[in-house]
């Protein structure tokens, strides 16, 4: 289970980093949405600290850096808030699948409310398929870097 824990820590750091980028970019004028982003960041950061089972911190940092380097090399330098939010939504959902019970699930579930609130504000009808596709493309790369197999998400 140690590799799954390490994978989860990278996933949580990507969620935290995405929230931090959106906060820094002042993506939202509404105070409650900014609070949701701050809550997501704080919850993900606390989850990383409290996550049981960190085995290979060097691997975690290496994989996170590999994904961030990939994102930096894209011609699209700024991702719209909806694309980052959809990516966070998928990560949180996939983590719920990977860790369906116990303390790890509780840590993941703490991020759900904030992510859901932002998704509901940015795409209330769920029709921004371009954002979903872009998020999916980013996740394909992330999950390849993390060596996540489809069966882990089934």
pLDDT value of position 26: 64
Taking only the tens place, the pLDDT of each residue in 88-116 is 999 999 999 888 888 888 888 889 988 99
Average pLDDT score, the chain = 86
56 or 41: which leads in pLDDT: 41
CA atoms within 13 Å, Cβ hemisphere of 111: 31
Say whether pLDDT at 1 is over 60: no
Band (22; pLDDT cuts 50, 70, 90):
confident
pLDDT value of position 57: 84
DSSP letter, residue 126: S
- 147: region left, alpha or beta (phi > 0 left; psi from -120 to 50 alpha): left
80 or 39: which leads in pLDDT: 39
């Amino acid at each position: 289970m140690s590799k799954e824990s390490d994978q989860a820590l990278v996933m949580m750091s990507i969620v935290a980093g995405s929230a931090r980028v959106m906060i820094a970019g002042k993506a939202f004028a509404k105070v409650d949405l900014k609070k949701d982003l701050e809550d997501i960041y704080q919850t993900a950061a606390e989850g990383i600290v409290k996550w049981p089972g960190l085995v290979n911190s060097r691997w975690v940092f290496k994989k996170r850096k590999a994904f961030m380097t990939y994102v930096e090399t894209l011609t699209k330098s700024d991702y719209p808030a909806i694309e980052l939010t959809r990516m966070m939504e998928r990560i949180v959902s996939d983590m719920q699948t990977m860790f369906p019970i116990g303390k790890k699930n509780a840590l993941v579930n703490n991020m759900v409310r904030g992510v859901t609130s932002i998704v509901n504000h940015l795409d209330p009808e769920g029709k921004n398929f371009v954002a979903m596709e872009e998020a999916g493309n980013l996740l394909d790369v992330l999950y390849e870097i993390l060596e996540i197999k489809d069966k882990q998400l089934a």
